[in-house]
Each structure stands twice: as C-alpha cells, then as structure tokens.
Amino acid sequence: MKNAGVKVLRTWGFNAINGSELEYAHKSGLTYYQVWNSSEWVINNGAQGLQRLDYVVETAAKNNIKIILALTNNWVGYGGMELYINWIAGSGNTHDIFYTDRRIQVSYQRYVKTIVERYKDSSAIFAWELMNEARCLGDLSGGPACVPGSQTLSKWYREQSDFVRSLDPYHMITTGGEGHFYWKDPKFASDYNFNGQAGENFDLDLTFPNIDFGTYHLYPQSWYASQDFPGSNFSSVQWGIDWITFHAEAARQVGKPVILEEFGMSGLENKTTAYPAWVQRALDTKIGG
C-alpha cells in the first residue's frame, strides 16, 4: 500500500460473534474481537482477536499510513449494531432502538472505550468513525421514533461524538455515514437520499462540534435500480457528480472537510467511465481537507 501511495486507509475496529459460534471460530481461524453471551460480551485479546488489530495498527504506523477505525456497523456483517439489539433488547424490536435504548448505548460505549483507549496513543490513528452507514433501518426495519425530522440519529451522532472526544481529545471523529440529506423540497419528497427517511441530516450532522469532518458514500446503481437501466434518462455517472457537488456545497457552508469514503459500480465499462469522473470531481471540490 505504501508503494502505491496510500496515505490513509479505513478498516473495521469491530468484529463480533455469538458465543455459539466459538467452536467454529477456533477451528476456522476466524478473526473476532467481541463475543456475545446473554446481554453481556467479552473482549478477545488473543491471537485470533485484538492481537490481529494490533498488528494492523502497528504495521500502519511503521509504514507511516494513517487509519480511520470504524467502531460498529449498521449491517449484520461482522457483528454490527443488531447484535447489541438482539442480545440486550431482545427480539421484536426495530433497528433504531439502538440509538435510544440506554442499556445499548452503555454497552456500545464500553466497547468504544476499549478500542479508543487501546489505540489512541498510536501514531497510526487518523480518526474514529462512530459507525459504518448508520440508518434508521438495517436488516431490521425502522420504527416510528426514527422518522424524517425526529433527529434520532443526529442526536446519537452528537452524543457519541462527545463521548469519544472525552476519551481522546487529540484525534478526529467522523460519523461514517452515507451522507443522506433532509431537504424539505417537494421534488425530493420520495427520494430516500434526500427526504430524511434514512435518518441522517448531513447538513445538521456536520455542524456538531466533535464531528471534525463528514463522510459520504456513492452507490447510484443500488440506490436507483428502478431508474438505472439501458435507454433510461438516468445517468449514474452524472448523478454521482451531482452527489459529490451537493456534499462539497454543504462542507463549504459549515467550513469543514468532507470525504468521498466509499463508491461503487458493477460492470467494468461502468467503472472505467464513472470512477475517473467521480474521483476527479471530488478532487476538484478541494474540500477533502
């Protein structure tokens, strides 16, 4: 990576399993940092656990590469927030209870404290990321407490960024969000990326004092599958350019950097057209810090 010119990379600072999966994990050599049993979890400090993340952080430091470390996941991959919901709140709950249930917040903060205090003195740390792609819904559906204008997710961003800042006053903090907007514009009333249904309010979230920079992701084929087909007037490439521009404008309003953290297209021809255009547009905005 160093030889390729990589200066900052992003990786998961979480990897959780259920206690029932331990036997398989040991036999397969699976990496896991957190093991859930009942409403509690324990940290795996062993050779299949945080020692592996130690190695990643130490190797990055030796090669002068910085790391953005994400602290949990909106999705079930590698554990994620729904393990907290399942073990602490139980079945029958909605996805967004993660943001409001005090027991869940205490448990999440206990894990965050474990990771932040373990690595905050490393020269490799660039930023802490509260969650990958936080939304009102995930594999579980969202509930009535997390609707456009409720600020449920925004309040969580603010509270958790304040908590991380109390642990580490020196490193940057970001949301890890996809950059959804809450625009009260009739032309976006049915558009998930702009109408607040995702739970984020990018313009507001970026103003929080302990959110040092914003993040946004870009997957137009997935988000607009019904419009993105041969012969349609929808252009994934142009939509992506506009999405980048909207986030650059929001960044300038607040005076903070934002980064295009993830993007993707399927099909080689699509990638060779879209990726250079998107990367160039992101660079041209000059708001990446």
133 is annotated as an active-site residue: yes
102-119 helix and 152-167 helix, angle to the nearest 10 degrees? 40
46 closest CA partner among 55, 37, 57: 55
Catalytic residue among 117, 178, 249, 262: 262
* Residue 174, CA atoms < 13 Å, CB-side half-sphere: 26
58 is annotated as an active-site residue: no
Catalytic residue among 129, 133, 200, 261: 133
Q: Give Cβ neighbours of residue 156 (< 8 Å, ≥ 6 apart).
A: 99, 100, 134
> Of how many residues is the chain composed?
289
Beta bridge partners of 8: 66
DSSP 177-194: -----B---GGGTT-TTT
Which is it for the CA torsion 232, 233, 235, 239, positive or negative? negative
Local structure of 10: helix, strand or coil: strand
How many other C-beta atoms are found inside a 10 Å radius of the C-beta of residue 81?
Answer: 27
Phi then psi for 18, rounded to 5 degrees?
-85, 150
Strands (E), 125-213: 125-129, 172-174
The continuous run of DSSP H or E covering 36 comes out as: strand 34-37
241 closest CA partner among 286, 285, 195: 285
The Cα–Cα gap between 136 and 120 comes to: 29
The Cα–Cα gap between 95 and 76 comes to: 11
Catalytic residues: 133, 262
